[in-house]
């Protein structure tokens, strides 16, 4: 059984069908990068996997559990499935340590005695141990995004979803975030990433999924898709992304 199973998923907003029968499996430990033009359904698919949106038809299962916005145990489910967006969404009135430990404390995953140690551990993983007592406004955009990743790691997720997490960053800050994600991949974290960073997709992903017009258009190993795209749509996208 795959960690993530997506079967014939459809999703409509108003009169616009955004997902038109998407099917996809993601194995434990796999790094899957989803690429495609804006409006192809990439971010909507991630939001459905995390139950931020419910599908209209079809089915999504994570670790065998059917996913939907009204599923029982939704809070516990989201502890296992972390998601990081392009907006950092840090609480500006809380220091870095509190931003990271608020959810683990509220859910009972840790007690107050272990909170600072947990924050130090996950900040070390993203290379920001020295920022534990900083306020968000004292951090660069890249540092804030790394804290957002650390906040997800603090919940010990089984699956991490990344929705264009570098798109809001200045170019010189993109590399530091990508390095953190690359390190997580090497440590065996199962990851699904929506990204426009073609170099990262080529070098880190086990598999690339090209979405077009709400469908999985092509998928396969990066070397194959970049060297020999089977459709003119993917060939055009790769050419425009260079």
Tokens of 176: 């530091």
What is the rounded distance in angstroms from the CA atom of residue 45 to the CA atom of residue 134? 34
Express each pLDDT in 215-242 by its tens digit.
Answer: 999 999 999 999 999 999 999 999 988 6
Written as six digits, the tokens of 17 are 């069908």
Which residues, including other chains, have CB under 8 Å from residue 123's CB and lie 6 or more apart? Answer: 96, 100, 129, 131, 132, 147, 150
The per-residue pLDDT for range 18-45, each reduced to its tens digit, is: 999 999 999 999 999 999 999 999 999 9
Report the alpha-carbon distance of residue 182 to residue 184 in Å, rounded: 5
Could you report the per-residue pLDDT of 80-127, keeping only the tens digit for each? 999 998 887 899 999 999 999 998 898 888 888 899 999 999 999 999
- Measured in degrees and rounded to the nearest 5, phi and psi for residue 71 equal -70, 145
Match domain 4-241 to its CATH number in 3.40.50.2300, 3.40.50.1820, 3.10.580.10, 3.40.50.300: 3.40.50.300
Q: Is the Cβ–Cβ distance between 79 and 155 less than 8 Å?
A: yes
What was the pLDDT predicted at 107?
84
Which pLDDT band holds residue 200 (cuts at 50, 70, 90)?
confident
Report the pLDDT value the prediction gives residue 70, as an integer from 0 to 100: 84
Half-sphere exposure (Cβ direction) of 209: Cα atoms closer than 13 Å: 24
The pLDDT of residue 203: 87
Supply angle C-alpha 142, 143, 148, rounded to 5: 95
pLDDT higher at 75 or 31: 31
The model's pLDDT over 145-185, given as tens digits with 9 standing for 90+, comes to 999 999 999 988 999 999 988 887 888 788 888 888 888 88
DSSP secondary-structure letter at 67?
Answer: P
Q: Could you tell me which of 3, 39, 78, 90 has the C-alpha nearest to residue 194?
A: 39
- In the chain, where are the structural domains located? 4-241
Question: Residue 69: what pLDDT?
Answer: 82
Rg (CA), the chain: 18
Query: At which residue do the structure tokens 């050419």 appear?
Result: 239
* pLDDT exceeds 80 at position 13: yes
Check residue 222 and give its pLDDT: 94
Q: What confidence score (pLDDT) does residue 132 get?
A: 96
Ramachandran sector of residue 51 (left: φ over 0; alpha: ψ -120 to 50; beta: rest): left
**Residue 91's CB: how many other CB atoms inside 10 A?**
11
Q: Phi and psi for 184 in degrees, rounded to 5?
A: -60, -40
């Amino acid at each position: 059984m795959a960690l993530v199973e997506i079967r014939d998923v459809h999703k409509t907003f108003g009169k616009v069908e955004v997902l038109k029968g998407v099917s996809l499996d993601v194995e434990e430990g796999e790094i899957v990068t989803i690429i495609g033009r804006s409006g192809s359904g990439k971010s909507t698919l991630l939001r459905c996997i995390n139950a931020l949106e419910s599908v209209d038809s079809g089915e999504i299962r994570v670790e065998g559990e059917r996913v939907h916005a009204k599923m029982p145990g939704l809070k516990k489910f989201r502890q296992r499935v972390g998601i990081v967006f392009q907006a950092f969404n840090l609480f500006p009135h809380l220091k870095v340590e509190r931003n990271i430990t608020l959810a683990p404390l509220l859910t009972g995953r840790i007690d107050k005695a272990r909170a600072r140690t947990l924050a130090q551990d996950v900040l070390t993983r993203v290379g920001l141990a020295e920022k534990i007592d900083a306020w968000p406004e004292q951090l660069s955009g890249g540092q804030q995004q790394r804290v957002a990743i650390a906040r997800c790691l603090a919940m010990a997720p089984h699956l991490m979803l990344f929705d264009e997490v570098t798109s809001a960053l200045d170019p010189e800050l993109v590399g530091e975030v990508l390095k953190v994600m690359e390190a997580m991949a090497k440590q065996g974290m199962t990851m699904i990433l929506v990204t426009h960073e073609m170099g990262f997709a080529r070098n880190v992903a086990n598999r690339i999924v090209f979405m077009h017009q709400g469908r999985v258009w092509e998928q396969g190993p990066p070397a194959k898709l970049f060297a020999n795209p089977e459709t003119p749509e993917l060939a055009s996208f790769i050419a425009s992304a260079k």
